[in-house]
Structure 1
Amino acid sequence: MRLQLPISYLARSTAPSWLGRHFLLAWHAVILVVSWYPFSGWRYTGEPVLAFLFYPLPYYHTLTDNTLNVLAYIPLGYAWALYFRCRWHAPLAALLLAAMLSGTVEFVQQFLPDRVASNLDLFYNALGGLLGALLAGLMSKLLVLRSWHVWRQRWLREGAQADFGLTLMVLWLLTQLNPAVPLFGVVVQPTGLPQPWVSPIGNAILFLRVLESLGVMLSLTAVGLLIATLLAHRRDAVKGISSLVLLALLVKIVFAGALLKPAEFLAWFNLNVLIGALAAGFLLAVTLRFKRRWQALSALLCVVLAQWVEELWPLTAQPASMSGLFKWHYGHLRDFGGLTQTLSEVWPWLAGLYLVWLTLVDWRRSGQPTILG
């Protein structure tokens, strides 16, 4: 049976997609952050640097470690297989490249405190890369990849800009995985004793609540406008933003149920988050009427102001105090928190560069700037 493609897809399918390469680079960065965080305390134990390759098996063996080591490298193998167009040699190439990355990670981990270099980790990482490549080959046989291309051409703009923007949205969703961080928030309310701080207004609690709501409003508005700039048709903006909000909410609920203690299940939601989200809805209702380049500029302004709110936030969430919210006692909690924190710090800069790029390109392609239209 032949797959019938829409005419619009056939007309636009000649544009090359960089999405796979963007995701490949991004997932390499994710693995390195998780494996080497917090990038400090370097030391040399004096042991031969390649000794970990010859440790007797099983060495430092736990079921949780092994499972996560496989799962972490499945997306990497999948992306490498797509890079090699799922040809016959793609699984072998993905296996070797995953093993090379894992070997580099394990080698460097010898010089980091609280890390253990393990040949068993290398084996499971390489296995994850191989499984990911095989999964990509299977999905290509089932025409899943072709269906994805049809979906992309239906909903998203063509070109490298949309590919990079979609990768940014995947990274943003990763920042929402930590259920201790408020939904759409840029600040974290710490637990434990109050920290010394002098409020600029008489009502300190009101000032903190306004800051938290403002951060949520700016963050959600920026992300919503970024989604709008990715879509092929302006009429789909509300649908796209609503889908993103529901997906982020689902992510929070799932990870809160898996990681937080039952009494702390709603640590990521409060009245300040709700007020900020409603204010963001009002701003989006206005800014979605702008032309695309003005939407990009508005999103850039929201990103900058959100960073300003984060700088104004006077309280610091210490890992020791926040750990009381979680029921997960594995060492991976440190890696998980490091990943979301690092991505939260890097993402605004990547989003800012993307929005500046998008604005300049759209301005060059268009004539005189007008806000509405």
Structure 2
Amino acid sequence: MRFPPISFLAHHVAQSRISQYFFYCYLLVILTISFYPLAGWRYTGESVFAFYSYPLPYYFTLFDNLVNVLAYMPLGVAVGLMAKRRWFAWPLATLVGLLLSGSVEFVQQFLPGRIASNLDMLSNGFGACLGGLLALLIANRRWQRAWLVFRHSHLADSTLAEWGLVWLGLWFITQFDPSAPFLGVVVAPLGLPQPFDSPLANPALFLALLEGGGMMLNLIGVALFVSVLVKHMREVPMAIRLTLLAGLIVKLTFAGMLLQPAQFFAWINRNIVIGGAVGVLLLWGLWQLQRRLRALVGALALAAALGVGWAWPLAPQLSGMLPLFRWHYGHLMHFNGLAAVIGDVWPYGAILLMLWAAVTMPDSGEAW
């Protein structure tokens, strides 16, 4: 039998709230993918409650309903883990899933391209129920103790570490769009040339600097964000490498799923490679700074990356991007829209968390 570290047994262990934090963040994901693109609201004139009583199955596609089940399973897990009593985990998860999905479907009838479906609501509720049942397996003392030992051994001693870990999970969603460069801030559009005013005599160089510089800044910001969450300095390089490797795997997976075979590496180019190489060289020195200073530098890097996005003069052209993909427009819009919206929100949350760390997290507890 493997026992926890003595330091863990002797340490007052604060209750974990990661399930609550995950619930809030995943709720953001569900609302984003359900209501994207948040435009074109209209009222058809039909009864707004009619879809609840449609005969089943009124509208059915195997892919959509499978996705509906899987999408609500993490929500069910989070709700189940939040339940005060284990026996109440799956009923509570099912109830929350049905109420949330029923509300989402009600709103979706006012969005173009969306269909309010009682079958979707039932599929979501079933997924939440499965998640609640899965929570029963996770909520035993052995799993809880394993998580607390891991948190005590590897994560910084702060509530921020659990918040940051959940927020880092959202970063992986930003890699769902394979047409966007890995860790890139801007996307060079395909299609017709677009005129723009360049502050440099060479417009192509200006675009290359923005694209490569954005990647460099984003790489530094994400890596330092990870470093702030890690307890021991000696574990920082490995944590950064594992995070970036996992993000790359996500990017490759969705590239294989969504892109045409000939466009598998559309998410990488020379500017991204150069920006990434420079970012890695800078990280070699930055990760060894004290935690508070790393947090401050990481926040500044992400803020500068946002500035690159604002300075990018070209607009995306959907007609030029669609030939890259093998999926039809509806499913593609949901995945890429989710990645785009979370990608817009994520840096702001990460900046706030790192500024919080720069102010509140001690450097004294960070040992090699």
Q: Shorter-chain TM-score: what band?
A: over 0.9
Cα distance change, pair 15–141 in 1 and its aligned pair in 2 (3 A): closer
Runs of 4+ in 1 over 6 A off after TM superposition: none
Partner amino acid, structure 2, of 1:352: I
Is the Cα contact below 8 Å between 1:182 and 1:268 reproduced in 2? yes
Is the Cα contact below 8 Å between 1:98 and 1:129 reproduced in 2? yes
Give the distance between the partners of 2:58 and 2:144, measured in 1 at CA.
Answer: 39
The residue number in structure 2 matching 1:185 is: 184
The residue number in structure 1 matching 2:202 is: 203
- Cα RMSD over matched residues? 1.8
The residue number in structure 2 matching 1:257 is: 256
Partner amino acid, structure 1, of 2:160: Q
Give 3-state SS (helix, strand or coil) of 2:257's partner: helix
Partner amino acid, structure 1, of 2:70: L
Deviation at 1:103, TM superposition (A): 0.4
Matched ranges for 1:303-314 at <5 A: 303-314=302-313
Is the Cα contact below 8 Å between 2:299 and 2:355 reproduced in 1? yes
Matched ranges for 1:132-147 at <5 A: 132-141=131-140, 143-147=142-146
1:167 is the counterpart of 2:166: yes
1:4 is the counterpart of 2:12: no
Query: What are the ranges of 5 or more consecutive residues in structure 1 without an aligned counterpart?
Result: 368-372
Give 3-state SS (helix, strand or coil) of 1:335's partner: helix
The residue number in structure 2 matching 1:282 is: 281
Cα distance change, pair 33–209 in 1 and its aligned pair in 2 (3 A): same
Deviation at 1:36, TM superposition (A): 0.6
Deviation at 1:95, TM superposition (A): 0.3
Give the distance between the partners of 2:332 and 2:300, measured in 1 at CA.
Answer: 33
Deviation at 1:84, TM superposition (A): 1.1
Deviation at 1:318, TM superposition (A): 2.7
The residue number in structure 1 matching 2:155 is: 156
The worse-fitting range, judged by mean Cα deviation, of 98-107 and 129-138 is 129-138
Is the Cα contact below 8 Å between 1:140 and 1:146 reproduced in 2? no
Give the distance between the partners of 1:361 and 1:142, measured in 2 at CA.
Answer: 31
Deviation at 1:280, TM superposition (A): 1.1
Give the distance between the partners of 2:199 and 2:65, measured in 1 at CA.
Answer: 50
State the identity %.
Answer: 45
1:335 is the counterpart of 2:334: yes
Give the distance between the partners of 2:300 and 2:204, measured in 1 at CA.
Answer: 26
The residue number in structure 2 matching 1:240 is: 239
Question: TM-score, normalised to structure 2's length?
Answer: 0.95
Counting matched residue pairs gives 365
Cα-to-partner distance string for 1:247-284 (whole Å, 9 max, x where unaligned)? 11111111101110001100111121111111111111
The residue number in structure 2 matching 1:36 is: 35
Give the distance between the partners of 2:10 and 2:59, measured in 1 at CA.
Answer: 54
Give the distance between the partners of 1:132 and 1:103, measured in 2 at CA.
Answer: 18
The residue number in structure 1 matching 2:74 is: 75
Is the Cα contact below 8 Å between 1:155 and 1:233 reproduced in 2? yes
Query: What are the ranges of 5 or more consecutive residues in structure 2 without an aligned counterpart?
Result: none
Cα-to-partner distance string for 1:125-170 (whole Å, 9 max, x where unaligned)? 0000000111121234594444333323221113311011111211
Is the Cα contact below 8 Å between 1:94 and 1:129 reproduced in 2? yes
Is the Cα contact below 8 Å between 1:297 and 1:356 reproduced in 2? yes
Cα distance change, pair 321–96 in 1 and its aligned pair in 2 (3 A): same
The residue number in structure 1 matching 2:314 is: 315
Give the distance between the partners of 2:231 and 2:145, measured in 1 at CA.
Answer: 19
Deviation at 1:239, TM superposition (A): 0.6
Give 3-state SS (helix, strand or coil) of 2:86's partner: coil
The residue number in structure 2 matching 1:227 is: 226
Give the distance between the partners of 2:85 and 2:195, measured in 1 at CA.
Answer: 57
Is the Cα contact below 8 Å between 2:181 and 2:268 reproduced in 1? yes
Is the Cα contact below 8 Å between 1:20 and 1:82 reproduced in 2? yes
Partner amino acid, structure 2, of 1:103: G
The residue number in structure 2 matching 1:19 is: 18
Give the distance between the partners of 1:118 and 1:12, measured in 2 at CA.
Answer: 51
Give the distance between the partners of 1:9 and 1:208, measured in 2 at CA.
Answer: 51
The residue number in structure 2 matching 1:107 is: 106
The worse-fitting range, judged by mean Cα deviation, of 18-27 and 120-129 is 18-27
Give the distance between the partners of 1:3 and 1:94, measured in 2 at CA.
Answer: 33
Give the distance between the partners of 1:86 and 1:184, measured in 2 at CA.
Answer: 42
Is the Cα contact below 8 Å between 1:15 and 1:159 reproduced in 2? no
Give the distance between the partners of 2:40 and 2:352, measured in 1 at CA.
Answer: 32
Give the distance between the partners of 2:56 and 2:314, measured in 1 at CA.
Answer: 46
Cα-to-partner distance string for 1:146-203 (whole Å, 9 max, x where unaligned)? 4333323221113311011111211111111111110010101111111111322232
Deviation at 1:327, TM superposition (A): 0.3
1:95 is the counterpart of 2:76: no
Give the distance between the partners of 1:103 and 1:248, measured in 2 at CA.
Answer: 33
Partner amino acid, structure 2, of 1:251: V
Is the Cα contact below 8 Å between 1:86 and 1:137 reproduced in 2? no
Give the distance between the partners of 2:32 and 2:93, measured in 1 at CA.
Answer: 20
